[in-house]
């Protein structure tokens, strides 16, 4: 496919090896396009938030509606309790990671559908991966969309190092949308103020960490972390999404403040 | 609102645990079902084979036709030169990795349809990606082989690579991950080289052939280029069911039947990382 229109890099790509690190290093010479720089990606936790039902969800939905005039929101959902149920049934029966990934996707999709009905009066659509081509239109017209947080890897979900559960779940799927579209922020809405040195639900001595880098957090090697490990690893390679904030969505006003750029939870950065 | 005030419980051993807790994760290590233990996954190179012209392709098609008489095959294809071209245009436009991954799926799908046309008389066709994974066991039960586009469905969700912007999960990886999920019998990559060399044999006469090597040894060598996706080493190291793959030369079509019979006719890359973890749970 050699032709005069190809750049030198283009010719090297067509003829060379994509495992050649010198060639790969030349592939980010052009500035990366931020496709949706005004949009925010918000992930609403499954077990930590949606599974709490009306008491937690209704006030957050109200706060999302109040923010629609000011902020564009791409809202992803976690999976939660039913995914854990499906995973435990599936693990015991010998399901491979790819099948568990399919099961987790279904639960995250249920949660997306439920939030979608709660936001239906605002004309906000639920989109599946195949509909992401319409994402810019929906944001321009309605300011927000709902999607399921699981990355659509299905049978191609890679195995974890330890155990069998899909390593790239809804924290990762939402983060990747924020990275690919170059959005303004990535906010995780959970039921804790952010990151602690241990699980604050189980350990009274757990101390709060307001700001930390991904490398520092990985070095701490905590037995339990508030966000999926893959997010911390991928963030270090990111072109755009080099910080995330984890907030307590049970506290009214936190989402609004986070959307306005305030630090109200734990901020994890790549650098 | 504390943990004990939650209203919507469900009993399961993971119900109250954090899925981010390593100790909990270790408990999920159990024997895995092998869905398609007799089926081979064969990846036909894009640029190296399918786009190399009829003199290369037709003899291999004959060999595939013969192999389909005796074996069940899942055939993946590479995305070839057109993906390299669309990558170069996309990179110049500043498009992110996820968009490049989304674009390249179309090139591999084109190659899948070319292969499907050539194997149509065997009942082997390219299956649309949306239904391929879910219906795969049924297809394999009905026909001797199926073709898919090799590209894992990462698309906009492709991981940002460590270096540059080219998607890391390409068609070699897509074939290996699929084989692992479905517990397939073997993974064979059909390329235009005899196998793995210490350097690119087309560029350096002194390149030495490597018949068999472990993932760790290969990382140690830190070769300038590899004839397969680099992340396959990591995928192999975390695999529970597939512990090696073989690269064979598609310009010698007779090697295909021998590779499918378990012979060592090219280069074998293997992992022993999970050999001990696998031993008690082998089916």
Looking at the fold, whether A87 and A5 belong to one and the same domain comes out as no
Looking at the fold, whether A10 and A71 belong to one and the same domain comes out as no
pLDDT (0 to 100) of residue A203: 86
The DSSP 8-state label assigned to residue B154 in this structure reads T
Smallest CA-to-CA distance from B140 within B187, B203, B71 is with B71
Q: Is A162 on the interface with B (CB under 8 A)?
A: yes
pLDDT band for position A2 (cuts 50, 70, 90): low
Looking at the fold, whether A201 and A185 belong to one and the same domain comes out as yes
Does A155 sit within 8 Å of B33, measured CB to CB? no
Mutate to test the interface with B, among A11, A36, A52, A84 (most CBs of B within 10 A): A84
HEC-encoded secondary structure of B92-111 = HCCCCHHHHHHHHHHHHHHH
Q: How far is B121 from chain A (nearest CA, A)?
A: 29
Looking at the fold, whether A9 and A70 belong to one and the same domain comes out as no
Looking at the fold, whether A11 and A61 belong to one and the same domain comes out as no
Looking at the fold, whether A221 and A121 belong to one and the same domain comes out as yes
- For residue A90, report the phi and psi dihedrals to the nearest 5 degrees: -70, -40
pTM here is 0.92
Lowest mean pLDDT segment, chosen from A1-5, A94-98, A103-107: A1-5
| Residue numbers of A between 81 and 110 with CB closer than 8 Å to B | 81-82, 84-85, 87-89, 91-99
Ranges of chain B whose pLDDT falls below 70 = 1-8, 16, 275-283
Looking at the fold, whether A1 and A103 belong to one and the same domain comes out as no
CA angle A94, A99, A105 (to 5 degrees): 135
pLDDT (0 to 100) of residue A105: 97
Q: What's the topology of domain B33-281?
A: Carbamate kinase (3.40.1160)
Residues of A with Cβ-Cβ distance to B91 under 8 angstroms = 9, 27-28, 30
Supply the ipTM of this predicted assembly.
0.91
pLDDT of A227 higher than 70:
yes
Mutate to test the interface with B, among A39, A88, A93, A172 (most CBs of B within 10 A): A88
pLDDT (0 to 100) of residue A18: 94
Q: A46-74: per-residue pLDDT in tens?
A: 999 999 999 999 999 999 999 999 999 99
Looking at the fold, whether A44 and A18 belong to one and the same domain comes out as no
Q: B222-248: per-residue pLDDT in tens?
A: 999 999 999 999 999 999 999 999 999
Spatial CB neighbours of A64, under 8 Å, sequence gap ≥ 6 = A42, A73, A75, A119, A144, A255
For chain A, how many structural domains are there in total? 2
Looking at the fold, whether A129 and A17 belong to one and the same domain comes out as no
Residues of A with Cβ-Cβ distance to B160 under 8 angstroms = 179, 234, 237-239
Looking at the fold, whether A73 and A181 belong to one and the same domain comes out as yes
Give the domain ranges of chain B.
33-281
What's the domain range around A187?
31-269
């Amino acid at each position: 496919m050699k032709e005069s229109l190809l750049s030198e890099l283009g010719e090297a790509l067509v003829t060379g090896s994509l495992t050649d690190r010198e060639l790969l290093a030349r592939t980010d010479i052009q500035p990366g396009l931020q496709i949706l720089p005004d949009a925010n990606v918000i992930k609403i936790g499954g077990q930590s938030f949606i599974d709490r039902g009306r008491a937690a969800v209704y006030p957050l939905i109200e706060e999302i509606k109040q923010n629609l005039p000011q902020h564009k929101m791409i809202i992803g959902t976690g999976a939660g309790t039913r995914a854990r149920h499906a995973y435990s049934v599936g693990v015991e029966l010998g399901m491979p990671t790819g099948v568990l990934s399919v099961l987790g996707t279904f639960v995250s999709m249920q949660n997306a559908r439920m939030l979608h009905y709660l936001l239906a009066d605002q004309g906000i659509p639920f989109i599946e991966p195949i509909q992401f081509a319409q994402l810019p239109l929906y944001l321009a017209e309605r300011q927000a969309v709902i999607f399921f947080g699981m990355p659509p890897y299905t049978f191609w979900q890679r195995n974890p190092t330890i155990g069998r559960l899909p390593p790239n779940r809804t924290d990762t799927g939402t983060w990747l949308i924020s990275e690919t579209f170059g959005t303004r922020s990535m906010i995780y809405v959970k039921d804790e103020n952010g990151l602690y040195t241990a699980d604050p639900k189980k350990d009274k001595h757990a101390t709060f960490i307001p700001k930390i880098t991904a490398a520092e957090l990985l070095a701490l090697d905590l037995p339990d972390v508030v966000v999926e490990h893959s997010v911390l690893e991928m963030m270090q390679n990111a072109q755009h999404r080099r910080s995330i904030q984890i907030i307590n969505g049970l506290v009214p006003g936190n989402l609004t403040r986070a959307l306005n750029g305030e630090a109200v939870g734990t901020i994890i950065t790549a650098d | 609102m504390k943990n004990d005030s939650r209203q919507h419980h469900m009993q399961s051993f993971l119900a109250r645990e954090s899925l981010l807790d390593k100790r909990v994760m270790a408990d999920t290590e159990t024997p895995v079902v092998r869905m398609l233990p007799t089926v081979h996954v064969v990846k036909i190179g894009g640029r190296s084979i399918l786009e190399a012209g009829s003199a290369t392709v037709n003899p291999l098609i004959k060999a595939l036709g013969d192999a389909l008489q005796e074996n069940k095959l899942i055939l993946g294809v590479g995305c070839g030169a057109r993906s390299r071209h669309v990558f170069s245009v996309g990179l110049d436009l500043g498009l992110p990795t996820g968009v490049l991954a989304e674009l390249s799926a179309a090139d591999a799908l084109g190659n899948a349809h070319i292969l499907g046309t050539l194997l149509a008389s065997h009942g082997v066709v390219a299956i649309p990606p949306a239904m391929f994974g879910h219906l795969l066991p049924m297809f394999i039960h009905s026909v001797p082989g199926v073709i898919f586009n090799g590209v894992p469905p990462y698309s906009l969700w492709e991981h940002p690579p460590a270096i540059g912007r080219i998607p890391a999960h390409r068609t070699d990886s897509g074939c290996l991950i699929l084989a692992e999920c479905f517990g397939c019998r073997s993974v064979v990559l059909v390329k235009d080289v005899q196998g793995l060399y210490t350097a690119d044999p087309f560029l350096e006469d002194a390149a030495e052939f490597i018949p068999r090597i472990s993932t760790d040894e290969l990382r140690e060598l830190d070769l300038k280029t590899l004839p397969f996706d680099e992340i396959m080493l990591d995928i192999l190291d975390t695999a529970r069911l597939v512990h090696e793959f073989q690269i064979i030369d598609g310009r010698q079509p007779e090697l295909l039947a021998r590779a499918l019979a378990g012979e060592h006719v090219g280069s074998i890359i293997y992992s022993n990382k999970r050999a001990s973890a696998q031993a008690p749970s082998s089916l």
